[in-house]
Amino acid sequence: MVGLSTTIERRRMSAKCPCQNCNVHIEFEAAQAGQTVVCPKCGMDTLLFISPVQPTPAARPSPHPVFKKPMLTPLEGLRANTAYPGGRRVMNILFGASLIGAIIGIFGGVLSSGPAQGILIAVSIGSFISGWAAWEIANAIFDMADCALRRPATDGKKNPV
Ligand SMILES: [Zn+2]
99-156 pLDDT tens trace:
999 999 999 888 888 888 888 899 999 999 999 999 999 999 999 998 888 766 545 5
Count Cβ atoms below 10 Å from residue 89 Cβ, excluding itself.
11
Q: How far is CA 47 from the centre of its chain?
A: 19
Centre of ligand 1 to C-alpha 110, Å, is 49
Has residue 59 got a pLDDT over 70? no
CA of 135 to the centre of ligand 1 (A): 27
Identify the pLDDT of residue 1.
Answer: 47
Nearest to 51 by CA among 20, 9, 10, 8: 20
Indicate the pLDDT class of residue 70, thresholds 50, 70 and 90.
Answer: low
Centre of ligand 1 from the C-alpha of residue 113, in Å: 56
Measured in Å, residue 138 CA sits from the centre of ligand 1 at 25
Q: Which residues contact 47 (CB under 8 A, 6 or more apart)?
A: 20, 34, 35, 36
C-alpha 38/C-alpha 36 separation (Å) is: 7
Tell me the per-residue pLDDT of 20-51, one tens digit each, with 9 for 90 and over: 999 999 999 888 999 999 999 999 999 999 87
What is the Å distance from ligand 1's center to 41 Cα? 5
CA-to-CA distance for 89 and 97, rounded, in angstroms? 12
Ligand 1 centroid vs 94 CA: distance in angstroms?
29
* Distance from residue 38's CA to the centre of ligand 1 (Å): 8
Distance 111 CA to ligand 1 centre (A): 51
CA of 16 to the centre of ligand 1 (A): 13
Closest by CA position to 59, among listed 27, 104, 95: 27
Residues in the chain: 161
Report the pLDDT value the prediction gives residue 62, as an integer from 0 to 100: 58
Longest alpha-carbon distance in the chain? 72
For 38, other C-beta atoms within 10 Å of its C-beta total 22
Distance CA 55, CA 51 (A): 9
pTM: 0.46
